[in-house]
Each structure stands twice: as structure tokens, then as C-alpha cells.
Amino acid sequence: MIIDIHAEVITEGYLDRLLRFRGVPRIEKKDGGYLAFYGKGLAYPFDERMYDLSIREKEMDKSGVDLQVLGLAMPGVDMFRKNLAVEISRESNNELSEICQKNPRFLGFATVPMRYPDLAVKEMKRSAEELGLRGVKIPSNVAGKPLDWKGFYPIYEAAEKLELPLLIHPTTPLMTGVMMEYGLTTVVGFLFDTTLAALRLIFSGVLEKYNRLKLILPHAGSIIPYLISRIDHQYNINPDCRKKISRPPSEYFKRIYIDTAQSFYLPAFSCAYQLMGADRIVLGTDYPFVSLDKSVEFIKNLKVTDEEKSKILSENAKRLLKLG
């Protein structure tokens, strides 16, 4: 079995809403496809693969992907005012649950209104207990608030209790001014933001307090595997880094799962693999932005054992998602 734990989807209701919006965020029809705007200088094109599941299934068949975990594509709901954020998250989760119930090849990660933690917890519980969704997709910052803000602690407590993995997905980075040109927001900004999010969760003590919390960090752990020695060194020399955690940051990071989305450069992937080992890596494709074929073949061609490939392609995801 091959399980893709990180795939993007735009539900029909979400698409319809954003096509009618005139501000930000919004979606516009363009050149036979669509363009999603979610901030100044921030937009991405997409086509019918984002919402037409029949096309998606054909590509899954071709690549050998048996099961795909769907999460609502950016910008999610945190750019909307309170009532609308709650309404859209419920609507999107209902639609995602219906998709999964009709087609066993799909599972879903819920979207919750993170700016309103009490309502996010309520929607998280509903999504898990009533809708059968298997995790939650959260942004790397919430309208500018870092993920270690104490107001978010009830969300982590609920996720730990419900045994729901949280996939930290990049969103509009906290510093975008110098990254508007040359596509640098996508190239480095997103990875900087997820790296910052994970490190703040570690150094703030969130992962020490919620030691059973399941996190997934995309893109082969962002930049952290490359910087891990420097991160631990800072812990050793800077007393501020030891105020809220009792062990080196690398020990907390090794509890996080990382996915393989857009990780096709072998030396970089090898760095992540050597740090994490096969037990903490899951296949993630970021479909439809990246080829399913290329994503799967990269793992199959790794010079590791068949058992390790099996862990990456399915066994670790089964454990995370509580499948069988």
C-alpha cells in the first residue's frame, strides 16, 4: 500500500465562495484555470485537478497511490472574520467528510478557525467524532501569531487527547516584504515559516508539555535537518534556550514526523533521513502542485531497505492515522 499524507483540495463550496469574493482572499478564473489570491503579491494557479476527484484518482492509479489524505488548500479560513471563518470551516469539513465516506481512497484533515481557539477546539472535536476526519491541517502562523502563543494551547491539548496529528502547512510568512520578487516567498519563505513554527513549538516547551502531540512538518522537515547542529549548539550556549525545555532541541524534533513533499534533491533528503530515520518519515506529495509519479518513484529509488521504503510509503502513515 502507498499512502500520500499531504495532498491539497479545494471543495466545491469553498471554490464557489472565493469566486464570489472581491477582496482577499479570492479566486479568479484565468487562462482556462484559476488563480487564488491570498495576500499582497501572493497567488497560485490551479486547475481542475484541485477539485475534480476523478482526475485525481486516475493519477493515483498511474502512480500506485492507494490512499490520499486531503486537506483544504491555502488560504484556509483564518483570513475571514469570526462568523465566516467558523461557517466556512464547518462547510468545508462537512464536504470533505462526505467525499471520504463516498470514496474509501480518501481520508481528510480538518480545517479549524485557529484565530478563535475555543471554536477551533469545538470544530476539531466535531470533525473527529462526528465526521471521521483523521487529523487537522494548521497554518505555520495564524494571522501573524506564532504557533507557541499560549492561546493555542487548548488546541494542542485537544489534539493530544483526540490523538489527531497536526500537519503544519506553510502560509503567508511572517516576513514577506523582501521576498515578493523572484518567487522567493514560495522558494524560501514558506520553509522559513514552517522552520520557525517548529522551533518555537520546541523552545517554548509546547512539545515538552504535550509530549504525546503528533506533528507533521512538510518538505523533509523544512530547514531544520540542515541546521540541527547549530540549533543544539544554541541550546548549549544560550541560557534563554534552556528556560522551558529540559533536553536538546534535536530530541524533541526527532519526535515530529516529516513528509517528503517536493524533496527530490538526494543530498538534502539524505540529511533529513540521517537525522530522522525511516520511522519518522511519511510520503507527502503536495498534489496537485507536484507529480505523484515523481514523488513515489523518488522513494522507491532510494538506496535503503525494502522495509524502510515500506515504512515511508505506508506503515508510518498507518500508525499516525490509526489505520488497521
Asked whether 60 and 292 are in contact (CB, 8 A), the reply is: yes
Q: What is the pLDDT of residue 181?
A: 83
Residue 299: C-alpha distances to residues 80, 171, 318 (Å): 38, 26, 17
What CATH number is given to the structural domain containing 309?
A: 3.20.20.140
pLDDT of 178 strictly over 90: no
Cell (9 digits) for 80: 475571514
Cell (9 digits) for 231: 540549533
Cell (9 digits) for 62: 498511474
Asked whether 283 and 316 are in contact (CB, 8 A), the reply is: no
Amino acid of residue 18: L
Residue whose C-alpha is closest to residue 106's, from 16, 14, 9: 9
Nearby residues of 52 by Cβ (< 8 Å), 6 or more positions away:
none
pLDDT of 150 strictly over 90: yes
Asked whether 123 and 89 are in contact (CB, 8 A), the reply is: yes
Range of the domain at 298: 3-321
pLDDT of 237 strictly over 90: yes
Q: How many domains does the chain have?
A: 1
Q: What is the DSSP letter of 73?
A: P
Pairing state of beta strands 26-30 and 67-72? unpaired
Residue whose C-alpha is closest to residue 281's, from 313, 304, 306: 313
Residue 133 confidence class, pLDDT cut points 50, 70, 90: very high
Nearby residues of 153 by Cβ (< 8 Å), 6 or more positions away:
206, 209
pLDDT tens-digit series, residues 182-203: 888 888 999 999 999 999 999 9
pLDDT of 92 strictly over 90: yes
Q: What is the pLDDT of residue 62?
A: 98
Quick one: the chain helix, strand, coil %, rounded to 5?
Answer: 50, 20, 30
Average pLDDT, the chain: 96
Cell (9 digits) for 87: 461557517
pLDDT tens-digit series, residues 45-78: 999 999 999 999 999 999 999 999 999 999 899 9
